[in-house]
Structure 1
Amino acid sequence: MTNSKHPILVFGATGRQGGSVVKALLKAGWPVRALVLDSTKAASLQLRNAGVELVQGSFEETHVIRSAMKDAYGVFSVLPANLTAENEVRHGISIADIAAQTNISHFVYSSGASVGSELTGVPRFDAKPRIEAHVRELAMTTTIIRPMIFMEMLVRPGLGLDEGRLMSLIRPEHSIQLTAVEDIGRFVAAALADKPRFGSRTLKLASDRLTGRELEVIISEAAGRPITYKRFPDDVLAANTDLAHMAKSLEDGPLAEQVDLKLMREINPDLLTFRSWLAGNGRKSLDEALRTSA
């Protein structure tokens, strides 16, 4: 453990990624500090009961963020999905700048796997690469992670599971790389514990790789009844810019780039497969999707 007496400041600690990071860091023995919007809410109180030091504040309160970073060894920065592209860039850059100014030893930024080598011209797609570019220019050790598509996205209500089908973005014979949120925390904990290995690296994260046909088999087994896999029709993709962008990226863009799953398991020996995730934390989401229509 590196500098374990100094805490890690975690953003988004009451959310999925931040919550996963908090859990993994606590398990690894790190002191954890979290910026929360409301320290009296149930999710915040759960963090406090787990031993997390809470700092109440918002992204706009840069003086609070600066204070929260005092004496911290590292920072995990992830931004909520409901921000506008402009605010995502503004807050992402601000958090990184404060980390550099307060001499944070290791800064970990959670970006997106759809980030490519070129900007798209669409603000919501270009927010993360703009933050990445800024982070790399700062005088501090940084690690950028790009989690692949979350497993939760395949078992949401409205994808047809209640009617015996799974609708997704890949063609049946093509593969999709999936990330279990629990694994993100383990990767971040591993990165913070080994600065020489992970500093100045950009790492795509995945837990499993499956074709549409393999998804059909695994979900059918978990559901206990036949589930047929189908790709979203072309007219549906054409009508939704976000879905069309992701579908194209899965075929010949950044989301199609192969993640080294052997390396993933070396870094995180507890790496979850989609099948094992469905048998564990994914079971509740699957059951809900199986009985809920759009």
Structure 2
Amino acid sequence: MRCKTVLVLGATGRQGGSVARTLLNRGWGVRAFVRDPSTPAAAELGAAGARLASGTFDDTASLRAAMDEVHGVFSALPATLSAEDEVRHGTAIVDLAADEGIAHFVYSSGASAGTVPTGIARFDAKPRIEAHVHRLLPEATILRPSIFMDMLLRPGTGLDKGRYTSLVELDGAMQVVSVADIGRFVAAVFDDRDRFAGQVVPLASDRLTGLDLAAALTQASGRPIRYARLPDAVLSANPDLAHMAESLKCGPLSQPIDLDLMRAINPDLTSFRAWLATQGRPLLDEALKG
């Protein structure tokens, strides 16, 4: 099995890069689909043993050629795409995988994907792609990563002023995932197709309340950090943020994920505190500067 090749789409992105590196470390062949093979990130993958395939998501011929004779495909689309382009590219990739008879297709969706349309295009894009996967590739695996830990340390959270503002209630909870864990989860899925074929698998590395966030950030930064939820006025002015906040209370993002099951799939599960001390440290240092 380990001599088989997986095509990793978006291989120089956060998810794709983590998946490509983890698969290579576990002995899989990796074909990395990249826009520009001359970039440092692409060159690094090539040096690690990946075979590079260049093209764009609009280039159907290059995508089809990249899928030639591979066992599996990992599809994760850039967050920078418009909702319309995300659906267009995402469904076209599924069409090609079905045409090429890919044995194991793995689509990285999102934990906010639900069954009821929200009316907000970017939140409804992934469920539309998921429905297409179910129709054409019923043996595929759909992964729903929780909120990326990286997103918790974006500018404007107030850490430089000794506070941290986010979407979750003080005693509410959000589930988060590290990018490194996504690579390990995906590798585990490809390692055991029989177990994960046809499954929808939510992914999380840790579960945090607002109080947990404050405690972890206080410990990591060495200074007191107070937590507060974003004001209602801010949420009401931003439909995307308002939808996520509501989803954390009673929508798809509020559904608990069994961390013991996550650890059974990925024994090296990364807690938020461990992430802050390692991969997240540069982001924390930058956020503390303001």
Q: TM-score range by the shorter chain?
A: over 0.9
Q: Between the two proteins, what is the percent identity of the paired residues?
A: 57
Structure 2 distance, partners of 1:139, 1:215, is 39
1:149-184 per-residue CA deviation (whole Å, 9 max, x = no partner) reads 111111122110111111100110111111111100
- The answer for unaligned runs of 5 or more in structure 1 is none
Deviation at 1:140, TM superposition (A): 5.5
- CA distance in 1: counterparts of 2:260 and 2:286, whole angstroms: 32
Code of the aligned partner of 1:195: R
2:188 is paired with a residue whose SS is helix
Distance 1:140 1:244 in 2: 33
Match of 2:15 in 1: 17
Instruction: Say if 1:197 and 1:160 are closer, same or farther in 2 by CA, change over 3 A.
Output: same
Match of 2:161 in 1: 163
Of residues 239, 248, 252, the one that matches 1:250 is: 248
Look up the SS of the partner of 2:140 in the other structure.
strand
**Secondary structure of the corresponding residue to residue 261 of structure 2:** helix
Q: What is the one-letter code of the residue matched to 1:98? A: L
**Corresponding position of 1:209:** 207
What residue number does 1:52 align with? 50
Alignment match, 1:112? 110
TM alignment of 1:79-98, pairs within 5 A: 79-98=77-96
Per-residue CA deviation, residues 179-221 of structure 1 (Å, 9 max, x unaligned), is 1111001010000110110000001100001111111111100
**SS of 2:12's equivalent?**
coil
Equivalent pairs, count? 290
Q: Equivalent residue for 2:25?
A: 27
Report the alpha carbon displacement of residue 13 of structure 1 after superposing the two structures with TM.
0.9
- Supply the AA of the counterpart residue of 1:199: A
1:41 positional shift: 1.2
Question: Where does residue 176 of structure 2 map in the other structure?
Answer: 178
In structure 1, the residue matched to 2:101 is: 103
Paired letter, 1:252: C
The 2-side partners of 1:291 and 1:121 are apart by 37
2:63 aligns with one of 62, 65, 81: 65
* Distance in 2 (alpha carbons) for counterparts of 1:140 and 1:99: 12
Q: Deviations over 1:240-260 (max 9, x none)?
A: 111001000000000000001
* TM-aligned CA distance change 1:256 to 1:235, over 3 Å: same
Correspondent of 1:153 among 109, 130, 151: 151
Match of 1:130 in 2: 128
Amino acid at match of 2:49: G
Say if 2:21 and 2:45, in contact at 8 Å, map to a contact too. no
TM-score, with structure 1 as normaliser: 0.97
Which amino acid counterpart does residue 204 of structure 1 have in structure 2? P
1:287 and 2:285 equivalent? yes
Look up the match of 1:198.
196
1:220 correspondence with 2:215: no
Give the C-alpha shift of residue 82 in structure 1.
1.1
**Deviation at residue 57 of structure 1 after TM alignment:** 0.4
> Is the partner of 1:72 in helix, strand or coil?
coil
Return the TM-score normalized by structure 2. 0.98
Instruction: Please give the root-mean-square deviation of Cα atoms over the aligned residues, in Å.
Output: 0.9
The answer to whether the 8 Å contact 2:181/2:205 transfers is yes
Secondary structure of 1:278 counterpart: helix
Cα pair 2:19 2:182 within 8 Å, conserved: yes
Deviation at 1:234, TM superposition (A): 0.2
Pair 1:139–1:124, CA change in 2 (3 A): closer
